[in-house]
Amino acid sequence: MKFPETIFEKTIGHERPTKVTFLIGFALLLIALVVGSVEYSFSELFSEGFWRGFFIYPSIIFYILLIAPKLTQMENKVIGAIIPLGDLSENKIHQIFEETQAFRPLREWLAVGVGVLIITISLLSGGSIGLNLTGVYFLVMAAIAFGILSWTVYASIVSVRITAQLLKQPLQVNLFDLDAFKVVGKSSLYLSLAFIGGFTLALFFSAPDFSVFQSVDFWIINFPMFVLPVIIFFSNMYPTHKIIDSAKRAALKQAGQKIRAVSDQMLKSADQSSDVESLSHKLQGLIALEERLSKVQTWPYEVSTLRSLLGSILIPAFTVIAQVLLRRVLSW
């Protein structure tokens, strides 16, 4: 079935040819280069590092345009994987979407407006933006960048709310086939990687020098950013973990009860060898089942997924180190 779509999903989150996204990104960077060259000479723009300020907002816009369709794809995969587990009717699904109040165009535009308002006030209150070509460029680009950034955050929150509502429905959980739930784990990885990518982008344009590692403020501000992707990863999966864990506990309890019942029957049938042998095979099967149940992973991710997450967390750190080393080489 076709799910309802938000304005975000119809526009920014809509699947488009990759070359189109790259052409948009190239055009934005070209505009930044032209405006920067008007304000400064071409050589000064790069030798003094002014290019970073001009390129940061186009890069944010390009990055969001690049990842938004992937996030939308993962959201649809999660919804498509969970719905069959609850055997939900189309009317029930639409009711769930309505209860989340997800499809409210006014709220989406408000999210965009909040992002635009925050960055506009921030830039104007600093007094560094003038009414010239450069000032107008920064205001417009920053407004677009933070507007769609705020919009993306809102869309992600909506996605998490819909998933949470679907997970509250009665679901049939097959503990030996958790592929449907592992989609949630992959979705959590995408959300974390999206955050890491944005954080890395911000660090790349921050132009750190050697003193950055000696600054307490740097670590106070940035250390939580290294931890946040892990928090996003596990918190997004937590409702799914609770469902699997609850099903696992119930199955283990049921298996334990049956093991005790068969054990009691064996004691009562100790003088009947045929019954004891039959019950013994049954007991062995139940014990094997209990052991298999105990090994079921209640967090729906694969080892490779967690390895990808932990490895990607190092990317922002490598970005800082690479910039510091590059500046040292260029200064020699």
Extents of the domains making up the chain: 7-244+301-331
What's the pLDDT score for residue 330?
52
Integer angstrom CA distances of residue 191 from 157, 180, 184, 289, 298? 11, 18, 11, 35, 20
Token duo for residue 214: 């000696």
What's the pLDDT score for residue 282?
87
Q: Are 244 and 300 in contact (CB under 8 A)?
A: yes
> In terms of Cα–Cα distance, which of 297, 296, 294, 288 is closest to 259?
288
Low-confidence ranges of the chain (pLDDT < 50): 332
What's the pLDDT score for residue 23?
95
Asked whether the whole model's pTM tops 0.85, one would answer: no
220-268 pLDDT, tens per residue?
A: 767 777 788 888 888 888 889 999 999 999 999 999 999 998 888 887 7
What's the pLDDT score for residue 140?
92
DSSP H helices, 127-215, are: 133-167, 179-204
Q: Are 147 and 108 in contact (CB under 8 A)?
A: no
What's the pLDDT score for residue 127?
65
60-103 pLDDT, tens per residue?
A: 999 999 999 998 888 888 888 888 888 777 777 777 777 776 67
What's the pLDDT score for residue 32?
93
Q: What burial class does residue 117 get, using C-beta atoms within 10 Å of its C-beta: 0-12 exposed, 13-18 middle, 19+ buried? A: middle
> What is the rounded CA–CA span in Å between residue 251 and residue 241?
15
Question: Tokens 């960048």, residue?
Answer: 145
What's the pLDDT score for residue 10?
87
Within its chain, how far is the Cα of 148 from the centroid?
A: 16
HEC string of 230-288 equals HHHHHHHHHHHHHHHHHHHHHHHHHHHHHHHHHHHHHHHCCCCHHHHHHHHHHHHHHHH
